[in-house]
Amino acid sequence: MTANELRTMYVNFFKERGHKEIASASLLPENDSTVLFTTAGMHPLIPYLLGEKHPGGKRLTDVQKCIRTEDIDEVGDDIHCTFFEMLGNWSLGDYFKQKSISMSFEFLTNYLQIPAERLAVTVFEGDELVPPDVEAEEIWKNIGLTSDQIYRYGREDNWWGPAGQTGPCGPDTEIFYDMGKSKCGPKCGPSCHCGKYVEIWNNVFMQYNKEADGTFTELKQKNVDTGMGLERVLTILNGKNNVYDTDLFLPIMQKVEEILEREGRVLSEKDKRIICEHTRTITFILGDPMKISPSNTEQGYILRRLIRRIIRLFKKADINTNYLCELSDVIIQQYKTTYPELGDNKEFILEQLQKEYTLFSKTLNDGLKKANRYLDNIGHCGVLSGELAFKLYDTYGFPIEFSSELASERGYRVDMDGFHKKFEEHQNKSRQGAAGKFAGGLADNNEKTARLHTATHLLNGALRRVLGDEVSQRGSNITSERLRFDFSFGRKVTKEELTQVEAIVNEAIAHNISVTSEEMTPEKAYGEGAVGVFSGKYGEIVKVYTVPGYSKEICGGPHAKNTGELVSFKILKEEASSAGVRRIKAVIDDQ
């Protein structure tokens, strides 16, 4: 089965069962400060999981582009990917456990022809606060699974949320494919990481609300949020041992082999996989409608890290030609039909890759000079400390192999134990940060963030009035304390212009204008002058929020009811975010 066949089969299955197909949202979550990238299909649907009415109705399905950064260092094994596609279906207060589990089982066994005996599932075992999910367990038994195929686990394995201290949460049931091999003996279960069980689908049941006192109450609107990994399922369906043997990776793997043959060089299988996986990821980040560029912060930092890792691996094989653009074009050609934004943004993608290669080449040269300086000062000990070796790696992108070779040429060595200790500390910090980000999604949705969301609309409208229509949103980030708004503009905004912008927003606030919401087609919205990076994620109908005279935007919400709730608006800072993109940080006083 091909990836396109699986995508089509999945979406059609749920459309035939009353679900509305919605398009994949941007890889950059809209106004969500808790995550760097869209890590699951639920992120674009946050307002609707919290009770907002979705234009597509109560049943939705899609194929969502996702990026997870906590496993970057695992890439190169059989299953871990930084970029992946999540097949999802949702019930927003419609069906619940019985129908969700039944449909999942039907799709896996009847449509994908996976033998029921190769499946294993997990359910929440319960604790002192919430009873066991007996309902889900009984549904699985009634469907036809045996008791030996059903495992009970605690919160660490089978509970989702809340994202913050309070909010929606609930048990989940995870579906695993039994690969038939075990290194752990007969007691091996899905919670084991030996490779016998591979998770393929997760059905989350948002059943409870965690209160401030730590108790759990039943939600009025119970939601279902499911996600199935395209790459993993495709691997299983095709009888492969790893994702790189599927049609998702074969074209780019062939291109890497062609380059190595052309150069007369060799790389390990893991290194080739990393190059392929990271090329796919960077192409999708650069090709996103928000047009993220490599930088030293947030999404731009992850992008830069991945690009430079590819370059380092080629240099490790003594390949000094820039093949980034040639490789990226393979991904663009392969995916542009499914994700047209890659074709639309091809020029930007290739331009940024060329710039980053040139910049990193200079950085590596600087690292070489720094490395030689460190080695000049080693003295009689003959050992380059792990701390300095890691500094070369972290600050200059200087591969540890390079440092080791340079030291060896002088008869020195690198303290590899010290380097790996520093590297592990760095990994732990990164994972903790990523875990904190990934846990988010619903944490900061409250009245304050809704008002700040409205403030970003007013800010966007004011910027376009003062600076002209060349201004377009390139990203926003909202916390409970402030808003951050990125927009396209080729120069620094003057103090006088910022004063004008601030005054326009405060004028709108002073007039206490009602914020209205309408549903219409994208064509009608644009025809009426609405702005917004519309990616199709709301389907054929979009929501348009209007502050008459000041703002009209395509958006999913949530928002203030009227502008007066914002009380006042103040710009704290205006600065460059990346080439051609400016950033404004601002606050409101809604007390």
Residues tagged in the binding site annotation: 453, 457, 555, 559
Residue 512, SS3 per DSSP: coil
Q: Are 498 and 573 in contact (CB under 8 A)?
A: no
How far apart are the C-alpha atoms of 214 and 199, rounded to whole Å? 30
**CA-angle at 291, arms to 289 and 280, nearest 5°:** 85
Q: How far is CA 325 from CA 329, 346, 356, 409, in A?
A: 6, 10, 11, 34
Q: Are 160 and 154 in contact (CB under 8 A)?
A: no
What per-residue string of b and e applies to 124-159 under the rule 16 or more CB within 10 Å gives b? bbbeeebeebebbbebbeebebeeebbbbbeeebbb
First vs last C-alpha separation in the chain: 57
How far apart are the C-alpha atoms of 556 and 208, rounded to whole Å? 24
Radius of gyration of the chain (CA): 26
Residues 6 or more apart from 472 whose CB is under 8 A from it? 487, 488, 531, 533
**DSSP string for residues in 314-330:** HHHTT--S--HHHHHHH
Residues annotated in a binding site for Zn(2+): 453, 457, 555, 559
Residue 207: its H or E element: strand 197-210
